[in-house]
Copies of this chain bind each other. A is one copy, B any other.
Amino acid sequence: MSHVRIHNFSVSLDGFATGEGQSLEAPFGHAGTRLHEWFFGTRTFQEIIGEKGGETGVDDAVARTWDTGIGAEIMGRNKFGPQRGPWEDESWRGWWGPNPPFHTPVFVLTHHPRPSVEMEGGTTFHFIDATPQEALRQAREAAGGLDVRVGGGPSTVRAFLAADLIDHLHVAVVPILLGRGERLWDGLEAIEARFHTESVTTPSGVTHVTFTRAERPTD
């Protein structure tokens, strides 16, 4: 059975997954790069952006699991780009350049579907207006038996967690207080009861918290 996984999802100590004032120039708003400095330092990230170097400690080991065994991704429209509402310009093909790091089908949840976009390297963006359950059905079909990653942003992660569709969640808690932005944890009271949780702090100062489904329902 293919699993549904969330990786490398950074939140501030006060629970914000993105800051206020998101825009083309500031994808994480006033948070800037502060939520992701730990990730930038890893070899995994450096490879994603085509660079050499980066650390290979525990931050890297945890980060690296993000694409092992993944056959498709589901992301929210706000992760795909800064636009809101009807597409005014379909030339936007994501933040990631001509060869995005996904290398799988990617299902972008939007109330405004548009034609699929095939990129270099195996990534194809599909735009669907679907419930989490229906999106997951399509992603599983496309994943060919491999796992499905839910890539964010926070409202998409919340929706999939609330619908009890997630088997593995990795959150990196960064010891900063953003004060404002979009919260990850709202509406998720007591979900930890469905998971084994584990926490570990690394020398970067980040605490990796993993939630692993304790028992899968029969499905």
Interface residues of A (CB under 8 A from B): 13-15, 173, 175-180, 185-192, 197-201, 205-207, 209
Contact = CB atoms under 8 A, between A and B. Distances in A.
A124 to B, nearest CB: 35
Given A200-B201, A209-B13, A178 B173 contact: no
A200 B202 CA distance: 8
Given A189-B178, A200-B201, A201-B201, A173 B207 contact: yes
Given A14-B186, A179-B190, 15 more contacts: A13-B15, A13-B185, A13-B192, A13-B209, A15-B15, A173-B207, A175-B199, A176-B192, A177-B185, A177-B192, A197-B205, A199-B206, A199-B207, A201-B207, A207-B207
Contacts of A177: 185, 188-192
Please give me the 4 A-B residue pairs with the lowest Cβ-Cβ distance, nearest first: A179-B189, A14-B185, A199-B201, A175-B197
Contacts of A188: 14, 177, 179
A189 B180 contact: yes
A130 B180 CA distance: 29
A173 B192 CA distance: 14
Contacts of A206: 199
Work out how many copies of this chain go into the complex. Answer: 2
A178 B14 CA distance: 14
Contacts of A192: 13, 175-177
Contact of A179 (B179, B187, B201): B187
Contacts of A186: 14, 179
Given A14-B15, A15-B15, A173-B173, A199 B205 contact: yes
Contacts of A207: 173, 199, 201, 207
A189 to B, nearest CB: 3
Contacts of A205: 197-199
A212 to B, nearest CB: 12
Contacts of A178: 189
